[in-house]
A and B are shown apart, each in its own frame.
Chain A
Amino acid sequence: MLHQLDARVKVNLTLSFILATTLTPPGAWPVLTLLAALALAVVILAELRARFVLVRTALALPFALAALPLLFTVAGTPLFELPWGWTASWEGLLRVANIVVKTWLSVLMAFTLTATTPFTAILVALRGWRLPRLLVTIVALTWRYLFVLVEEAQRLMRARAARSGQIVEGRGKSLAWRARVTGGMAGNLLLRGADRAERIYSAMSARGYDGEPRVVAQPPLTAGHRALLALGYLFLALLALTGILFWG
């Protein structure tokens, strides 16, 4: 059901969710719990497999490790002590937990967005956001040609593999020789990429491109979508405000 929702609504609500989560002050656990409940509801609506979601979002957790030093630097009730005078505090632990939970919730929502929305639709939504068009165009071109480039690299590697037959066991060429071949392939790929860029620019010019990125405007959001957006904004703003007022 979430898959059919207009990408603009999804992108806006996801970013608002992340903003509200970020603004929630440390210690505002009731607010974080509500946000987590909201995230859970969204994941359930998205009909994604729990294992898939957990594995993918866990990938972001190592980044939260950057918060680990807080455990020792925040002063407060001592929890345990490490050699060389490192003292962990209860307050520090809470701060770290807070950051880990907030990071994970944000990643969870961003992941749900990308799992339920085609990338092309996200691009369209970003354009609606008055993001510099050139930037969006570059992202769009990168996305489009990433696949072509990967295919080209695969073809090169397949061609090498196909001609890398070995008649006598263990009489392959030296590492330096193979490194040179690989270097040649990388250079080849670069040149092919440059040629391709040239031809794409020709194709764009041939259809009238004048250096100014333009896009067809999107149809306006329906009343239902706008209501949903307003409701989402209101709810998230209330949560963030509650957090700031009572725990900030």
Chain B
Amino acid sequence: MHHNTIDVEHVSYAYPDGQMALRDVSLHVSSGERVALIGPNGAGKSTLLLHLNGLLKPQAGRVRVCGLDVGDGNLGPVRAAVGLVFQDPNDQLFCPTVFEDVAFGPLYQGLPEADIRTRVAAALEAVGMADFAARASYRLSLGEKKRIALATVLSLRPHILALDEPSAGLDPRARRGLIQLLTTVHPTLLIATHDLELVLDVCDRVVLLDEGRVIVEGCPGDVMCDVALMEVHGLERPHSLTPHAELHHLRCDALAKCVAPGNITNE
């Protein structure tokens, strides 16, 4: 499979309670591209990610990954090609030990024993958790769990990585490590996130979703610079894109709070 592409064509999806989650969404991601899905809560970002793996079936339209139709016929190859990481690592890590969790995917791919062990070691190494194989998942911190959760799909050697809020709840250092990792992995990336600075660091393209529709897509710098557009859709322009003069004011305001007389010494 040389074409690690994602094709979403006119997909609509409503949840069983009738609430529309996706309305006629179309999206193409080329091989090796790094795309961010942004949008307010409830925009349909996670729902779209679940479609890539056949966990949800489109009620209209169709989804293709790596040229394969996502449907009942080839769920096996599709799930081997797409590594999907859930937002809550407690959902992702369901085995008693880290090793078993990371080995889970390769095991179900039917790989031989030795390969599984190599892959687990490599995936844990990639997320900097090589020493954690024998640890019990429930004893890990959130940052550690998030990294292991990523390792559980890296061990699949996926062609496509679909990540739901990968940086949520991470401390700055862990977040830096994650960005570092995401800029070095090879698969096609689709990241649903509110972390717009991460998008600027990692992604080539951004897709803005709201109320289940694709509002706009384009270069992260262009889309996220548009203050009016961002605010209408419950987002804000990331500070890195704030013009210099305005940034200067923000900085002055922040510092002014520190030097205001009596702010610290006041009883």
User: Which secondary structure characterizes the binding site on chain B?
Assistant: helix
Q: Is B13 an interface residue (CB 8 A)?
A: no
Please report the C-alpha to C-alpha distance between residue A196 and residue B93 in the assembled complex, in whole angstroms. 12
Q: Is B116 an interface residue (CB 8 A)?
A: yes
CB-based contact A202/B100 at 8 Å: no
User: Which secondary structure characterizes the binding site on chain A?
Assistant: helix
Residue of A nearest to B138 (CB): A147
Given known A140-B96, A143-B96, contact A206–B84 (CB-CB < 8 A)? yes
In the complex, how many angstroms separate the beta carbon of A65 from the nearest chain B beta carbon?
35
Please report the C-alpha to C-alpha distance between residue A210 and residue B86 in the assembled complex, in whole angstroms. 19
Please report the C-alpha to C-alpha distance between residue A39 and residue B122 in the assembled complex, in whole angstroms. 43
Given known A144-B96, A199-B86, A216-B100, contact A209–B108 (CB-CB < 8 A)? yes
Q: Is B246 an interface residue (CB 8 A)?
A: no
A202 cross-chain contacts in B, Cβ below 8 A: 50, 55, 86, 91
Interface size on B, residues (CB 8 A): 35
In the complex, how many angstroms separate the beta carbon of B96 from the nearest chain A beta carbon?
4
Please report the C-alpha to C-alpha distance between residue A214 and residue B100 in the assembled complex, in whole angstroms. 10
CB-based contact B94/A203 at 8 Å: yes
Partner of A141, one of B92, B94, B109, B117: B94
CB-based contact A144/B55 at 8 Å: no
CB-based contact B86/A214 at 8 Å: no
In the complex, how many angstroms separate the beta carbon of A76 from the nearest chain B beta carbon?
51
| A-B pairs under 8 A by CB, number | 77
In the complex, how many angstroms separate the beta carbon of A127 from the nearest chain B beta carbon?
10
Residue of B nearest to A202 (CB): B55
Partner of B90, one of A123, A143, A148: A148
In the complex, how many angstroms separate the beta carbon of B168 from the nearest chain A beta carbon?
15
CB-based contact B96/A120 at 8 Å: yes
Q: Is B79 an interface residue (CB 8 A)?
A: yes
16 contacts between A and B (CB under 8 A): A118-B136, A119-B136, A120-B96, A123-B96, A144-B94, A144-B96, A145-B94, A148-B90, A196-B90, A202-B91, A203-B86, A204-B94, A205-B55, A208-B79, A209-B108, A215-B107
Q: Identify 16 new A-B residue pairs, CB closer than 8 A, beyond the known A145-B94, A203-B92, A207-B105.
A: A119-B96, A123-B96, A140-B95, A143-B96, A144-B95, A144-B138, A199-B88, A205-B53, A205-B79, A206-B79, A206-B82, A207-B152, A207-B153, A208-B108, A214-B108, A217-B113
Q: Sorted from nearest, which 5 A-B pairs have the closest CB atoms?
A: A208-B108, A207-B105, A120-B96, A199-B91, A147-B138
